[in-house]
Structure 1
Amino acid sequence: MTETLVILTLVVITALGFDFTNGFHDTANAMATLIATGALRPKVAVLLSAVLNLVGAFLSVQVALTVTNAVVRIQNSDGTPKTETLDGGGTALLLIVLAGLVGAIVWNVFTWLLGLPSSSSHALFGGLIGSAVAGLGWAGVNWTGDGSKLDGVVGKVLLPAILSPVIAGVVAGVGTWLIYRLTVGVARRFTDNGFRWGQIGSASLVSLAHGTNDAQKTMGVITLALIAAGEWSDTGAIPFWVKVTCAVAISLGTYLGGWRIIRTLGKGLVEIGPPQGMAAESASAAVILSSSQLGFALSTTQVATGSILGSGVGRPGAQVRWAVAGRMVTAWLITMPAAGLAGALMWWIADLIGGSAGAVVIFALLLALTGLMWARSRRTPVNHHNVNDEWQDDRAPARVPAGHAS
């Protein structure tokens, strides 16, 4: 097995690992409000979300192409492939992709441990940008595309990151306010039952939308790696086997359920009623689906969180836990820089050792770090048994009943 093939194999395995963590990290985006209001049992909700993520991954490739072409420069200014002028050729570019993925996964698992709904997408982009800058310099990042329009990282990643949660929050807030105004005088038991059915429909749409946006990011990364290795040359298409494996990986992660983050979004931010849940999920679905068609690689986590905050603001008398919201916003702000630093550090380690040995070392570091964080999470487990327990304070996870720790 050649050195390039060894590193490519590690990149594909690591990318699918990121896709898996993306799934369990982002299950909350669609299902947190549904679970919090009791519209579906927790395990049924995550199963539904997993199936729809799988379906959604096949509906579009625009976001995947954005990741392939809009982050790391894969061509020089004269149009020649980057691998032809890069020391180490395709192997060097593969190390950059691998290091970026390792940085992204480490940050993803760390924020899951803390129960913070940070952005898996921004962790991925941050990791790739950090490793690309470390390996290629600032010019190695495709900041503005061809320069004739807002494209590249600025137009496809940074601007959607700023605008999408604000838009989703405003839509959800206005929708929630209208719902409560229109249902004044109607018996609550009738409205709640009706809106719970509406929640199931709108949450299903969010899960479908999540598949069209987030699963494709990993498709784009693997395609980028295949181009670097000389195994693929079409920058306008995604190999079918890549679509299938990425769709399956994210759906399996979704079914696992990121219960710590589901709890934070469903119980820690606002006390959610069925009308709020339906308004929040509808706003999230509309923003995510629209962005997927435009090729914007936005953060579904930020959209969902913005929608839930908006639904709390829009409901008269609702209590919003702004301290929890503040920690979420802090996580948003530091996700790309933190993942970028992790990606850069991993690239330096891999480059120092060199070749396939460097790739194996940073892959081993990934396994060790994620294993330690998983072991730490077992001290205060959160799962489908206790995800809906009363929020005790701004930081403490719920206690698991005896015999139910998992």
Structure 2
Amino acid sequence: MLDITLLRRDLDGVLARLATRKNPQPFLDADTFRALEAERKTLQIRTEELQSRRNQLSKQIGGLKAKGQDTTAVMAEVGGIGDEMKAGGERLTQIQAALDAMLLHVPNLPAADVPVGPDEHANVEVRRWGTPRAFDFTVKDHVDLGAPLGLDFETGAKLSGSRFTFMQGAAARLHRALAQFMLDVQTTEHGYTECYTPYLVQAKALQGTGQLPKFEQDLFHVTSGDGDAAGSKWYLIPTSEVTLTNAVAETVLAIDQLPIKLTAHSPCFRSEAGSAGRDTRGLIRQHQFDKVEMVQIVHPEHSEGALAEMVGHAEAILQKLGLPYRVLLLSTGDMGFGAAKTFDLEVWVPAQGTYREISSCSNCEAFQARRMQTRFKNAQGKNEFVHTLNGSGLAVGRTLVAVLENCQNADGSITVPDVLRPYMGGVEVLRPAC
């Protein structure tokens, strides 16, 4: 959520920055905001005037009583002031609720160094690592390579419909190995604390990280019809960013608790609303997929450095696996709702002859913290909002795609990357079952 004091101080500047996300900007109704703010100011001034008048009258009543004089008229005026102040207070509450509801739909402001542009075509490539392999045979995609290894889309569809996958045998083991490897790197080398979190959350948690109320159509939800929780509504997490970040919701942290670095491996559930016809073949775009998530809660002065660090933590996984990739700085028109600045990592996918997103690392600054009411007590003893960051370290299914395709051999076998072999019982090559 944006800082409302910034909107009050420089509404035109905020609108201009929002317009870099989408022009004309559809996020903030400026006329409604100005009208509510004008009414709020008028009511607050009137409330202060009434409070001052009531204080004067209270003193006057004391003087009249001391002289034995009639206080009826003065008391009646005090009563009228009380009624008006109560009505004004109720209206101020309504105005604040309306302003809060409006701001819940407004995205974060892009950082000053984010490239301005309408979409992904304005993203800026920062660097590349590795050289895509030159094959001396016709490459297969991960669907054809994975099928003999137990990557089964037909059974997934039979059980749950399109965009679900069933894995068994070597494919399932490789998928598990990747997740364990990622967790071990993030915890033992990069200082994250491993967490296990719920897969179902209440709406308040999704509001805290920015998925609600604006993106409800992208979420799956369930409703309990039995027991103490009858009628309760939970949402399946779209990423463990939600649970890891909200672990510090409504908390005032001590400054020496920062930074907090958390990681978790979890399934992620997304309806993929609006993505009909995109990446319908294979693992690239699924309703359920696994991800190792990284979250950092940091001092505001350190969030820019933490973002660079987090990108490096995601890169380390790809480098250890020997997978070529590139890093992109996203433009204002391509960033996610809560991000002030985002770097995407895209891994080389040989069968498609292009790079595809495998990690997204974002600095949300105080945007999520303000929604969650997460603060720390600064050096001056005052409460200040933390900055939150999140990133994939990595998307497990897409990493599986990259390993299968980049490590394939002419006979359809897969050379297991060195770093994964301890997690695969020492197996060096996965061969199709005959």
TM-score above 0.5: no
Q: Normalising by the residue count of structure 2, what TM-score does the alignment of the two structures yield?
A: 0.24
Larger Rg: 2
Give the structure with the higher percent strand: 2
Give the structure with the higher percent helix: 1
Q: Normalising by the residue count of structure 1, what TM-score does the alignment of the two structures yield?
A: 0.25
Higher RCO by CA contacts (8 Å cutoff, separation 6 or greater): 1
